[in-house]
Amino acid sequence: MEEKRDQKLQHHKKENEEEEEEIVCLDESFFINDDYQLTNFTFGSQQIQLFCLHSASTDFDLTGQLVWPGAMLLNDYLSKNVEMLQGCSVIELGSGVGITGILCNGFCHKFVLTDHNDEVLKIIKKNIKLHSCSEDTSPTSHGLIAEKLEWGNKDQINEILQKHPGGFDFILGADIYILIVYNPTYIILKSYA
Ligand SMILES: C[S@@+](CC[C@H](N)C(=O)[O-])C[C@H]1O[C@@H](n2cnc3c(N)ncnc32)[C@H](O)[C@@H]1O
């Protein structure tokens, strides 16, 4: 009798162990597509190349992995009005893959690309690296700089302003929406202070 109970217990234990072995743990990278493709874009007479996805990842917060229509429109406008930003310093909100900064790098004095998403910041930095040796950097350019910025995060805004005490001539953003209206105003006021 005792022996039979032991056998049953052993059998249950084995079954449990087998079940545990079947549990597959997925870390967050399973849900992130970072198979970026080097892609060509043309704005007016300017051609640029950068890494981006061609369709969105499963995570709604990874919208910045691809180029949005707003950035295409903004870049089109800027490429036709280069003199507007000539020699200026710019901060961009919600930069995504960084297509606007990369276009402006040729004629801006300084362009700070920001985003709140760490995965998006990785692709911004990859694209900055791709362009760091590019020949279209003007002699006055301080180049492209990536910074983490969640809209309305005062600590992050102050950190950026400490690094760039002169503020910025322009704040750009394409295909972004602002949930808390007074926070961007704070950025503008501080930037022009
Ligand atoms: C629709 S995408 C636009 C990306 C790029 N500007 C374009 O047009 O291709 C919105 C971007 O804003 C960023 N974003 C969304 N909410 C944000 C927040 N609260 N703070 C900072 N960035 C944010 C996303 O990570 C994403 O890169």
The model's pTM is 0.80
Cα(151) to centroid of ligand 1, in Å? 10
Residues with CB under 6 Å of ligand 1 are 63-64, 67-68, 70-71, 94-96, 99, 115-117, 120, 149-151, 174-176
Residue 104 CA to residue 59 CA, distance in Å, equals 29
Which is nearest to 65 in space by CA: 31, 27, 36?
Answer: 36
Q: pLDDT tens digits, the chain, 193 residues: what are they? A: 567 667 766 776 776 666 667 787 777 777 888 899 999 999 999 999 999 999 886 666 899 999 999 999 999 999 999 999 999 999 999 999 999 999 999 889 999 999 999 999 999 999 999 988 655 544 334 589 999 999 999 999 999 999 999 999 999 999 997 555 555 555 444 444 3
- Choice from 63, 118, 123, 172 to test ligand 1 binding pocket (greatest atom count within 8 A of CB): 63
Cα(64) to centroid of ligand 1, in Å? 5
Measured between alpha carbons, how far is residue 136 from residues 6, 48, 55, 81 in Å?
77, 10, 28, 17
- CB neighbourhood size of 90 (10 A): 20
- Return the CA Rg of the chain: 24
Would you list the domain boundaries of the chain?
Answer: 2-192
The CATH class of the 2-192 domain is alpha beta
pLDDT score of 32: 86
